[in-house]
Chain A
Amino acid sequence: MPAEVANAAGTAKHSRRAALDTRWCGLTVHYGDPQIAIGVVFAVIALILAASFLVIGVQAGSEVSVERVHRVGYWLRKRWLAFLLVIGVFVVGVSLFDLPYATGTSAGRTMVKVTSGQFFWSLVPNRVPAGTRVRFDVTSIDVNHGFGLYDPHGHLIGSVQAMPGYHNELDLTLSEPGVYRIRCLELCGLNHATMENTFTVAPQ
């Protein structure tokens, strides 16, 4: 959403800096960008599909012999299947290297206890210095909530579910100072849309 959460004074110049310092295959991934890139990729694919349906629809009105349809169609289908399989295996395989699930001990990490309920977020501590490796321990005291963390520019970093009776752990390193916003991302009742809180990352 538009940057309705203003950044703390003095750090606006680093507005493009990553909230997370994820290094992945040598690239630094900036948050806020992944969603836009995803959206663009999707839009391109959707337009290509729409165009294909349009073209086929237009050509549906004319006559093409059954033999030609089968010849072209089956020839293309083999390659289409191969293409989909390759893309699918590649994409799924790559995704398995970037799972958000916390692993390892909490040694060296600052534990932030996140407790949610109808209709509040409690974060203890609610302030960390920039660059701290944080482990969010997220739970709920009543229904399922969704811990949605937005960076100071209003970009969604990611989310994790808050389940009563369970603790979900999310490891993040927040390098960009500012006021982060938490929104609820799982329908939890009447005030689901207004259940917010903030989390501060103090400049070093």
Chain B
Amino acid sequence: MSETSADTHSSTDGLWPWLVGGLAGGGIILGLLIAAYAVGYHRGQQHPHRTASAAAPTAPASTTPTATPPTRPAATLGPVTATPALVARGGTLYKADGCAACHSLNGSAGVGTSFKGLAGSRVALTEGQTVTADDTYLEQSISSPDAKIVKGYRSGVMSAAVSSQDLAGKPNDIRALVAFIKAQK
């Protein structure tokens, strides 16, 4: 790698042919790129294809902590009659679906509220209002967990944890869980 050729003493005159040559070479390459783009564009016009999203990199989730996966609107299931069979089924789901990891049955607050005495009680939400935890509220808390967050708890946690279970699409499971919660006096 020679380092002294273009030293400070040489004049710039001898450089002009080179610079013009460089301009010309660059212009040719640029022209080729434009031509390639034009051809591709023309071809694209002739063969309608998918939108540009195919070219976009599928960048996985950004970092926003409250990125909630889309949840379906809560179907109003109406009040739930807590029969023993439904409660038992709810208990099974309570363990199988992982609710036990965050919601205790003995009153101690974990990552989520405890179910003990929850049904029918007054809960304060993060937005400031206080609501009654009736059946509709409990159902919504399962199918759209981020719709209402109890004060002192974080949004996004439950929705991420249950995102794979698609509970919103299983109204019978929701009824069973609500029945189970109501049974936790």
Contacts and interface: CB of A to CB of B under 8 A. Distances in A.
A115 B161 contact: yes
B157 interface: yes
Contact of B164 (A113, A127, A142, A164): A113
A47 interface: no
Given A115-B161, A117-B157, A141-B160, A126 B98 contact: yes
Q: How large is the interface on A (under 10, 10 to 19, 20 to 34, 35 or more residues)?
A: 10 to 19
Contacts of B161: 115, 117, 122, 124, 141
Interface of A is mostly: strand
Nearest to A163: B60
Interface in B82-133: 95-98, 100-102, 110-111
B165 interface: yes
B98 to A, nearest CB: 4
B102 A164 contact: no
Size category of the B interface is 20 to 34
A159 interface: no
A200 to B, nearest CB: 11
A166 B60 contact: yes
Interface of B, helix, strand, loop or mixed by DSSP: loop
Interface of B: 60-63, 65, 95-98, 100-102, 110-111, 156-157, 160-161, 164-165
A165 B165 contact: no
B98 A124 contact: yes
B69 to A, nearest CB: 10
B63 A165 contact: yes
A123 B101 contact: yes
A125 interface: yes
A115 B156 CA distance: 12
B61 A122 contact: no
Contacts of A173: none
20 contacts: A113-B98, A115-B160, A115-B161, A117-B160, A117-B161, A120-B101, A120-B110, A121-B101, A124-B101, A125-B96, A125-B98, A126-B95, A126-B98, A127-B95, A141-B157, A141-B160, A142-B65, A164-B61, A165-B61, A166-B60
Contacts of B110: 120
